[in-house]
Amino acid sequence: MYIRNYHRRFNAVFFILLLLFIFCLARLLYIQFFRSSYLASIADKQHNLFVELEPRRGTIYDANMRPQAINLTVDSVFASPNEIPAKDKEAMISRLSPILRMDHSTLKDRLYRKKSFVWLTRKITPDQSEEIRKLKIKGIGFIKESKRCYPNSYLASHILGFAGLDNTGLDGIELVYDKYLKGEPGWAFFLRDARQKKLDLWEKMVQPKDGYDVVLTINEVIQYIAERELDKAFRATRAKGASIVVMDPHTGAILAIANRPTFDLNERHVSKDFMRNRAITDLFEPGSVFKIVTASAALQESKVTEEQRFFCENGAYKVANHVLHDHQPHGWLTFREVISESSNIGTCKVAQLVGANSLFRYIKLFGFGSRSGIDLPGEISGSIKEPRLWSKTSITAVPMGQEVGVTALQLVSAISSIANGGQLMKPYIVKEVRDRYGEVIKDFPPVCLNKVISLDVASRVRKILIGVVEEGTGRMAKIEGVSVAGKTGTAQKLEPNGAYSHNKFVASFIGFVPAEDPVLAIAVVIDEPRPYYFGGVVSAPVFKNVAVDALKYFKTKEPLVLSENQ
C-alpha cells in the first residue's frame, strides 16, 4: 500500500515537472522565434543612446568679413526626476528658481514628472551654469549646445534678424538664408553601461554637416555711422519712427539699413513694433522727394527745358474744386527753380504737360508700386493707382507725392537711378555664400531691373538736384568741398477720417555724393518729428553727417571695395 502511494506521488510530481518543463520550453521557443526582435530593441535602448549631433550654424559677415552673427558653445540644463528623492525636490526648486529665472510652478511641473529625462532650460549663460554646478545637486546634468550670438547687439538688428533656440532662422537674413546657414544634423549611437551611464564609445556615427557662411554687402562702419546719426535725430525730434538706407548707386548693394526704434538681437523679449524693418515694411506718402519722378519724366519726354518759365500763381492755384498751395508764394520760376524751391504749383503745371498716363509709366519705371525683390522678409510693394482710377485733382497730388505710398528702400533706389545714369538696380544685401574653407558656393552679382531715363536726362536732373542743395530747400545737406545732389520732402500724414493732418508729418531727404561721381546714395525718412518737421531741416542734416563720415572712412580705410565696378 505504501509503495503504491509512493509511485502515485512520484508520477504526479514527474508529470507536474514535465508540464513545467514543456511550458518553459514553449515559452523559450516563443520568445526566441516571436519576441526576439522586440526584446533586442529594449536591450538596445538600455545600452545604446541615440544622440543627434548639432551642426555649426554658419557665420554672418559684413562686406569686410567682420562677424555679425556667430555661434557659442553653452550649457543646457536637464534633470532626471526618477533619480531625485521626492523629499529633496522642493528644496531643489527653491534653489534653482532664482538662478534659472523660472517660476516655482514651472520647475515643479517638470521635476515631478515620472521621467528619466526632462529639460529644465536650454542655453543658459556661463554664470548661471557655474552657480548651478556649485550646488552639486544630484539628478541635474548639463549638455553642451550651440547658441546664436550677435557680438554687436543693436547694430544691423533689422537686417540680421535672429535664430531660435533650435538654431532655426526666424527673421531677417537668418530666416531668408536659413537653408544655407543651418547645415544638416548628424547622429550617433553611444554605448551605456548597466547604470545607464554614457560611455565615450559609439557603435555608429554620421557627422553633422556645418552650415555655410553668408557675406553681406553691409559695411559695419557705414552701418554704425548711419545708426548713430539716425538715433541722434530720432531722439532730438522725439519722432515716432525713423529709417535710413545707404546704397551703392552703381550696383544696388546695400551698405546700411537702420531703423528707430530698434532692439538688441541678444534679447528676445522685445516689442514687435521695435522689430519691424520700417525701411521696407512701412508705407508713407513721400511728399516733394517724389518730384524727381515728375522732373525726370518731363525732361525725358521733352516737355520742358531747364530754363522754361512757369507762373506759380503767387502761392494759390485752383484745379477743379481744389486749391493747391505752395509753402511760400512764388511768381515766375524756371523749371530748374520749380524743383529747387519745391514749388507744388510749378510741379503740377509740369505734370499737366507730361500727362497722367505718361507720368504713371515713369512712376512704375522708377520701381514704385512694385517689390524690389531685396533678400529681406516683409517687403511691401507700395501703393500706386492707375490713371483710370485718378480723380480730377489727382494730377495736382500725385506729382508732388500725394495719393501714392512708397518705402524708404524704393526712394533710395529711385535716387540711385539718377546717380548712376538712368538704371534702376535691384537692391541686394547678400554678396555671397561661402563654405567653411572660404570657397564661394553662390554669389549675387548686380542686376539691372529697368532703363528708366537716358544718360543725358540723368545728368540734367543731377544738375537740378545739385541746385536744390546749393540754392534751394536742401541747403542743410551741403558739404564743404564736396558736391551734393538731393531733394527734400515734407508730407502731411493722413488722419483716420481721410483728411490731411496739420500737425503730423513725414520729413525726408534723398540724395547722392559726390554728385559728379557718386559712391553713396542715401534716403532718410523721419516719421512725426517735433517741433520742426521740414525735410530740409530734420532729415537733410542726417544725410550730411552720414555722408561726411562715410566719405572720410572711404578715403582713409584703403583698400576698400565698394562695388564690383569701382
Of residues 15, 37, 34, 16, the one with CA closest to residue 26: 34
Q: Quick one: cell of 249?
A: 548707386
257 near 159, Cβ under 8 Å? yes
Helix 455-470, helix 408-419: angle, nearest 10: 110
Among candidate residues 76, 243, 288, 296, the one labeled active-site is: 288
Q: H-helix or E-strand containing 506?
A: strand 500-513
Question: How many angstroms separate the CA atoms of 274 and 240, rounded?
Answer: 11
409-431 residues labelled b (16+ CB within 10 A) or e (exposed): bbbbbbbbbbbbbbbbbbbbbbb
Q: Quick one: cell of 425?
A: 538696380
C-alpha of 255 from chain center: 14
235 near 241, Cβ under 8 Å? no
Of residues 374, 375, 356, the one with CA closest to residue 364: 356
69: amino acid identity, one letter: A
CB-based contacts of 108-111 (< 8 A; 24+ apart in sequence): 110/79, 110/81, 111/79, 111/81, 111/84
With H, G, I as helix, E, B as strand and everything else as coil, classify residue 40. helix
The label of the residue with cell 559677415 reads: 61
Of residues 146, 213, 215, the one with CA closest to residue 185: 146
Task: Identify any residues that bridge with 508 across adjacent strands, giving them in sequence order.
Answer: 489, 525
- Our answer to whether residue 271 is catalytic in this structure is no
| Catalytically active residues, by annotation | 288
